[in-house]
Amino acid sequence: MSNILCIGIATIDIINEVLEYPVEDTENRILSQHKRRGGNAANTAVILSQLGHQSYWAGTLLSKQASDADNQNILNDFDKYQINYDYSKFLNQGKVPTSYITLSQKTASRTITHYRDLDEFSFISFDAINLKKIDWIHFEGRNIKQTQQMMQKSRQLLPKIPLSLEVEKNREGIEELIPYADIILFSKNYVLQQGFTTASEFFQHNKIIFENKTIICAWGSSGAAGFIEQHYYWQDGFEVNAIDTIAAGDVFNAAIIDQQIRHHNIKRSLMNACKTAAHSCTKEGIELYLSG
């Protein structure tokens, strides 16, 4: 078991399931609606906990004195999965970040609109963390300037601790974080936004930048790619009856981190991460119930 610190956001997800994604300016019936705790780094922490690690989550939430039901639901979910959130910053005002997700029953696609009114986790809060008992730090690629300071401090203080970075969105300046990470987890959407049609093209174009790093890119249900020591690897996806793809990318990222902590090679890491992510899509939520 490793002590893994995940830094990013926790949200409340309001999920509206529809028969198929609605056409603009039409009225549609929702088949079901439910809430769950979300957020990329929070999801990653929960999966890592299920995979046998001690997860720590650092982000911002409201204090318990704020008496916010959504905030309490997040804390309850962390408690359920034994996520340590002592390093987090608790604020007295604001609103818990909320993602409104339209889930298509027909295609299992999910479309997200997001609202936040809560300060991001700051370097000042990070600087107060005792990192000496942490074995791995995972950063959600957001809040760029503050995250860059956190990664710099981690590198200076404990250079042997592996740092992983999720690059999901094309946020301004996010490339500035790449030099500090050992493992970088790119999304398919980010690669496409850079003008590339395949992960292989993306890797080859950036091979000098990616030298001495492990680069991973999940490519949806098709599979995932890896690039390490100037070698390219591909793993086909596992065909399943998908009913819920929400957080599948976070599950994949957590599984890659788990595999790398266990010192598995890139081919095995990709295979197990694709398998774990595919399994998570066969039911609602991200409780794995893995066997074998």
Do 139 and 166 contact (CB within 8 A), yes or no?
yes
Closest CA to 63 of 91, 98, 97, 96: 91
Extents of the domains making up the chain: 3-280
Do 94 and 117 contact (CB within 8 A), yes or no?
yes
DSSP 254-280: HHHHHHHHTT--HHHHHHHHHHHHHHH
List beta partners, residue 36: 13
Instruction: Tell me the backbone φ, ψ of residue 193, rounded to 5 degrees.
Output: -65, -25
Token duo for residue 270: 């990709």
Token duo for residue 170: 């094309």
In this prediction, residue 289 carries a pLDDT of 64
In this prediction, residue 292 carries a pLDDT of 39
In this prediction, residue 291 carries a pLDDT of 44
Q: What angle do helix axes 266-280 and 248-261 make, rounded to 10 degrees?
A: 150
In this prediction, residue 76 carries a pLDDT of 95
Token duo for residue 285: 């939520």
In this prediction, residue 246 carries a pLDDT of 84
In this prediction, residue 113 carries a pLDDT of 94
- Distance CA(45)–CA(41), nearest Å, equals 6
Please report, for residues 58, 69, 90, 138, the alpha-carbon distance to residue 64 in angstroms, rounded to integers and kept in the order given: 16, 10, 8, 26
CATH numeric code, 3-280: 3.40.1190.20
Predicted confidence pLDDT, tens digits, the chain (292 residues)? 899 999 999 999 999 999 999 999 999 999 999 899 999 999 999 999 999 999 999 999 999 888 789 999 999 999 999 999 999 999 998 899 999 999 888 887 889 999 988 999 999 999 999 999 999 999 999 999 999 999 999 999 999 999 999 999 999 999 999 999 999 999 999 999 999 999 999 999 999 999 999 999 999 999 999 999 999 999 999 999 888 788 899 999 999 999 999 999 999 999 999 999 999 988 888 888 644 3
Token duo for residue 126: 């990070």
- Distance CA(26)–CA(12), nearest Å, equals 26
Query: With a threshold of 0.75, does the pTM exceed it?
Result: yes
